[in-house]
Amino acid sequence: MDSLTQAALGAAVGEAILGKKIGGKAALIGAAIGTIPDLDVLLTPFFSPLENISIHRGYSHSILFCLLGALLIAYLLSHLKVTKAEAYWRLWLLSFLGLFTHVLLDAFTTYGTQLFLPFTDWRVSFDSINIVDPFYTVPLLAGVLLSVFRFAPDAKRRALPNQLGLLVSTAYLLFTLANKAHIENVFAAALAEQDIKFEKLLTVPVKVGNTTWYGVANDGEQLHIGKYSMLSGNTIAFESFPINEQLLEGVDPELADRMKWFAQGFYTVAQEGRTIRVYNMQCDMQGVRHFGDYKAPTAFYFQIVPEMGGGYELSTGMHPKE
């Protein structure tokens, strides 16, 4: 999710655990903890473009990091003037939940989160909510702000607004899972009506409100991409793209493996001259782009240019809107 949402969630956790004891400082501490996992982006200058594919939402987004990181953060908090009087277990709980709710929330988006590193790099991705969705963020933020600025630390009703914000936002998050199940049925029915057989189906929400979705069906040789709006109830028109997996046979094996891993089976490959482009529907779905006779399944792509001597140059690009 976006940084504001993650900070708001961390603040809500801090307020829920220590708000009545230390006031608004609890929300500030929680917000700071809630942003720590995303500091992995600061490491990208130290790694190659290939390594950076798996750095974000990697070790800093794992359950093990949450468990161990909470020990260190709680130790540091136990030496701060504002929190040193609190029980260590409470400081650990605040630290762990501040970290874990961040990585768990990220798992609901399409990019995927490597929760189980270092044991496996399998990326958990529920694909049920857009990375930016005010329907989740606003109740959360409103609740914590009301608790912090409306009530004193010892007020009996201080916790209520924050609790309501957490309840409403969590209910919406669960709704997105139920709604996704409904959307998958809609796409599966549309594919069946158009006699399009498939092996795997990916559905991803776009925009806000969980009402507009893309569906990507993989039949082993092609991807079939369609868009559906719950508001208009449109008939889904699918556009098909060859996967062209054979175009990756001539590139570096490690690079090809990482590209496939990142896309989780939902990618297409195109070639123009010596340049190869990989379109990853798992991390980007902005709709089909048309440029004369050229048609791309989405805007973002990885570009691979072979170099003399057997190496390659890996970069990224973005097709503009027509």
pLDDT along the chain (322 residues), means of 10: 95 95 94 96 86 89 97 96 94 98 96 93 94 96 93 80 97 97 98 96 94 96 96 95 93 91 93 91 85 86 85 88 72
Strand 212-218, strand 275-280: pairing: unpaired
Q: What residue spans define the domains of the chain?
A: 3-176, 194-322
A 10 A CB-CB count for 31 gives 22
pLDDT at residue 190, rounded to an integer: 97
- Cis before 118 (ω within 30): yes
A 10 A CB-CB count for 304 gives 24
pLDDT at residue 322, rounded to an integer: 67
Distance CA 174, CA 179 (A): 9
pLDDT at residue 154, rounded to an integer: 66
Distance CA 164, CA 139 (A): 8
Give SS3 for 1. coil
Distance CA 131, CA 241 (A): 26
pLDDT at residue 4, rounded to an integer: 96
Distance CA 169, CA 6 (A): 12
Strand 300-306, strand 212-218: pairing: unpaired
Nearest partner of 198 among 208, 209, 184, judged by Cα: 184
Nearest partner of 95 among 72, 118, 61, judged by Cα: 72
Distance CA 314, CA 75 (A): 42
pLDDT at residue 202, rounded to an integer: 96
Backbone φ/ψ region at 273: left (φ over 0), alpha (ψ -120 to 50), beta = left
Distance CA 108, CA 141 (A): 19
Q: Are the C-beta atoms of 288 and 298 separated by less than 8 Å?
A: yes
Distance CA 14, CA 84 (A): 15
Q: Within the chain, what is the greatest distance between any pair of CA atoms?
A: 71
